[in-house]
Amino acid sequence: MESILQFVASQSFWYTYLILFILIFLENTLPLLPGDAILIFSAYLAGKSALNPLAAYLVTVISGASGFIVIYLIGRHWGRDFFERRQFSFFSAKRIKKTDHYFHKFGNWVLAVGRLVPGIRFMIAMIAGFTKIRLVKASLCTLGGILIWNGIIYRLAKVLGDNWEEIKTILREYSAFFNIAMIILLAVLIAYRMRKKAISKEITKID
C-alpha cells in the first residue's frame, strides 16, 4: 500500500486527477465494473493526503455526473427507439406509457435516492433518458445524490483510515438491507393493486 501512495504522490497533478476522472467515469457507465471500488480507494488516498481531498472529491462528483449524462443521452436517443420498433411483448407500448407516467411523477426522487444505491444507477440513468425527463432537472437531482453519496464515502474513509476496506463490507450490508426493503415495498404495492382491482370488480358486479 505504501508503494501505491508513493506512486500516486509522485505523479503530476493533472495526470493523477485525469486518471481518477476516467476511472470514475467508467465506473458509472460500465455496469460490469465493481460498484464504487475506485471511489472508495480514491477516498482512502485522499485521507492519506496522497490526493488533495477537496480536489479528488470534486473530480469524482463531476465524473459521476458526466457518466450519468452520457447514459441518459444514450437512453434518450437510442433506447426508446430500440424498444418501440421491436415491440417486445414484455415491454409493450402500454408498459412504456406507464413507465413514462410513473417516472415523470416520481423520477426526481428516484434519481436522487438511486445514487445512494450501488448497482442500479446505470439502469436509472438509462430509464431517465428513455422517458425523456428533462435533462437539466434529471442532472440536478442526480448531482444532489452524488454530492451526498461521495461525501459519505470520503467521510467514512477519513474515519476508518487504514481500515478503509471495511467500507466495502458496510456498503454490502447497506445494499442488502435496501434491496430487501425494496422487495418488501414492491410486494406490498402489488398486493395493494391486486386488492384494489378485486374490490373494483366486486363493486362492478353489484352494480
What pLDDT was estimated at residue 5? 46
Asked whether the predicted pLDDT for residue 149 surpasses 80, the reply is yes
The parent domain of residue 173 ranges over 166-207
Same domain, 160 and 172: no
The predicted model scores a pTM of 0.73
The mean of the pLDDT values for the chain is 77
Same domain, 65 and 149: yes
Backbone angles phi, psi at 164, to 5 degrees: -60, -25
Number of domains, the chain: 2
Same domain, 140 and 57: yes
Asked whether the predicted pLDDT for residue 70 surpasses 90, the reply is yes
Write the pLDDT tens digit of every residue in 93-134. Answer: 666 677 777 777 777 888 888 777 767 788 888 888 888 888
Write the pLDDT tens digit of every residue in 160-183. Answer: 776 666 666 666 666 666 667 667
From CA 93, how far away is CA 170, in angstroms rounded?
40
The number of beta carbons lying within 10 Å of the beta carbon of residue 79 is 18
* Element containing residue 155 per DSSP (H, E): helix 135-160
- Amino acid at the residue 146: I
What are 62's three cell numbers? Answer: 463531476
Same domain, 128 and 41: yes
Same domain, 153 and 189: no
